[in-house]
Chains A and B, each alone.
Chain A
């Protein structure tokens, strides 16, 4: 039953869509996979934007996170509670960053199944394809699809493409990885930065390179979106992490006077205050108005506003 539903709503559309796209794209299965990736990413554009902004927001919360670590480092339960409260008040969810990836999982699986069936490599797979086909005549005149694309055999793993998958994923990950003042968090971020790309690259060696082609294209699209929204992020030149005198003073004030939690987030990767002085006072005001005021955090994503960076090449277009 589940299998039938899966076939009907996921696998069949993907298979027939790929055949149709191949037919219009010079019979090239590789181009069809790239086109499908663009279509899938276009359909997920809003979700992706939400994720990118959430990542940006998470970056902005890093100083508060560091503060919480310092304050409740020994009380894990309280720390977790405070972190959750901070996320809630900021309108952010750490899981939100993973949503687009989860949503794409059925597409990956369907794509894997489609590739194995559509390219005439193993007769059993081609034999089983018939029942998934729509009755459009274009489908029957296009089959089977060519498994060659550039230097690739789309049904086999490819070392270079696997490296490319790892590299593009690392780039994308690096752009959203915040630099935390907390060494433990930093280590965790570093681990994630390398772990995911390496694992995906390793997976690519065992899976058809058609799937890797999807991942590479998808990563490139997301890098482009990320760049348009947040700029190069942590990929920006290291010189930008130097703090200005004003930033140093602010940071000292945040740490020593404990005002950071009541004020505004500091962009941890550059050590910049995340808002102007007017915004600081706004935040303070809202804090004073809260009856249960103990600690508070930016209550909406919109409040997390990194300052325009002064380094050359940084293009901030966020809110």
Chain B
């Protein structure tokens, strides 16, 4: 009987389930160097579930795909296992796309640490917190005017001195934060699982206003023309006044919004889990067009010239012509895509769930190069 139970749980129980966070960040480009944190590698663990076999790392690449350097990120310390055993060190999964500013690369990690690493040498400059750790950091970091901002699963928004890693202020929300903060002037905007969008003072962390949606918010906000656009789990995309937090309009879709929208020429382009990209009038919220990509859109889109590049979950890459409001498929990677897209000099960089980094020509979709990248 026990064998039946065990095999049942092993065969069916773990199907499609991750028992350990694997991470895998988007790509950032600074001074001709690509930075990203590959997903950690996993192998078969107990009861058929996955178990980590490698830690996380930061990789620096030339735009040609040549590997410049890589830095392994420290694993969280052993904390005493059961039955006197020493537990395996936990891997450092990275979900947030690295941020580069002032010669440093900033990374928020699932093990609750912020790392600042020299962008040319790969040397570790500082870690926050120095002792102990925070709850998992899922969202990305933002660096503006010498301050580093990020949200944490402990529900707090933190501001650190970007140079030293000293904490400047923190702000407590009602639930986990997976959203990446956005700075506009002196205002910081961030969404929380407590269903609220917060506007804080970037200087001291005091709250300017809050807007309550009907569902949790994991998406990053977009600030465009004094309006904050943000998607929620409640299947709505909201347009909120950046000045006072009043609702301007809301748009309802069939499933939730996970990605950050982009704006171009007074139109908002938002990918949704219902497999569609909605083009909405930025002022009124009226639907200009919708494009069915056939599978959920979780990866942040990117603007290249007058086109918006989207990637669907199933690995198809589309170019949306904003002038003609037409979409065409430019590539099919046949690998799941969740991480934010990145573009520079007409090249789109995409890191897939299968742990491959692709460089595609933004116009034709031609594959310039691809590179398997794991944290082995």
Contacts and interface: CB of A to CB of B under 8 A. Distances in A.
B12 A6 contact: yes
Given A116-B19, A124-B22, A109 B233 contact: no
Question: In this complex, which of A108, A137, A141, A159 has the most chain B Cβ atoms within 10 angstroms of its Cβ?
Answer: A141
Contacts of A112: 9, 13, 17
Contacts of A225: none
Contact of A143 (B4, B21, B215, B298): B215
A130 B138 contact: no
Nearest to A144: B216
Contacts, number: 91
Given A122-B18, A144-B193, A130 B256 contact: yes
B193 A130 contact: no
A109 B296 contact: no
Nearest to B10: A109
Nearest to B23: A123
Contact of B9 (A108, A123, A196): A108
Given A101-B1, A102-B4, A144-B193, A125 B233 contact: no
Chain B binding surface, main DSSP class: loop
B8 A109 contact: yes
B13 A113 contact: yes
Majority DSSP secondary structure for residues of A touching B: helix
A102 B8 CA distance: 10
A140 B235 contact: yes
Given A124-B22, A143-B216, A130 B17 contact: no
A159 B47 contact: no
Given A105-B8, A140-B256, A144-B233, A122 B16 contact: no
Nearest to A102: B4
Contacts of B338: 124, 127
A116 B49 CA distance: 12
Contacts of B258: 127
A289 to B, nearest CB: 39
Contact of B82 (A108, A140, A159): A159
Nearest to B20: A122
Interface string B40-59: 00000011000000000000
B1 A140 contact: no
A140 B233 contact: yes
B178 interface: yes
A313 interface: no
Interface string B159-202: 00000000000000000101000000000000001000000000
Contact size range, B: 35 or more
A207 B17 CA distance: 13
Given A130-B273, A143-B215, A105 B5 contact: yes
A140 B216 CA distance: 9
A125 B216 CA distance: 16
B215 to A, nearest CB: 5
A251 interface: no
A206 B47 contact: yes
A130 B255 CA distance: 7
Contacts of A199: 2
A12 to B, nearest CB: 13
B204 interface: no
Contact of B21 (A105, A123, A206): A123
Contact of A3 (B15, B233, B254): B15
A135 B255 CA distance: 8
B95 A123 contact: yes
B9 A141 contact: no
Nearest to A131: B296
B18 A125 contact: yes
Interface in A1-24: 3, 6
Contacts of A130: 255-256, 273, 296
Contacts of A98: 1
* Residue with the highest number of chain B CB atoms closer than 10 Å, among A109, A117, A128: A109
A80 interface: no
B225 interface: no
Given A128-B16, A199-B2, A122 B9 contact: no
Contacts of B4: 102, 105
Contacts of B290: none
A126 to B, nearest CB: 8
Nearest to A108: B9
A103 interface: no
Contacts of B74: none
A102 B138 CA distance: 39
A113 B14 CA distance: 7
B82 A143 contact: no
A195 B1 CA distance: 11
21 contacts: A98-B1, A101-B5, A109-B13, A112-B13, A113-B17, A120-B176, A124-B18, A125-B18, A127-B258, A130-B255, A130-B256, A130-B296, A140-B233, A140-B235, A140-B256, A141-B214, A144-B193, A144-B216, A203-B6, A203-B9, A207-B47
Given A3-B15, A123-B138, A135-B254, 6 more contacts: A109-B8, A109-B12, A116-B18, A126-B218, A140-B215, A140-B256
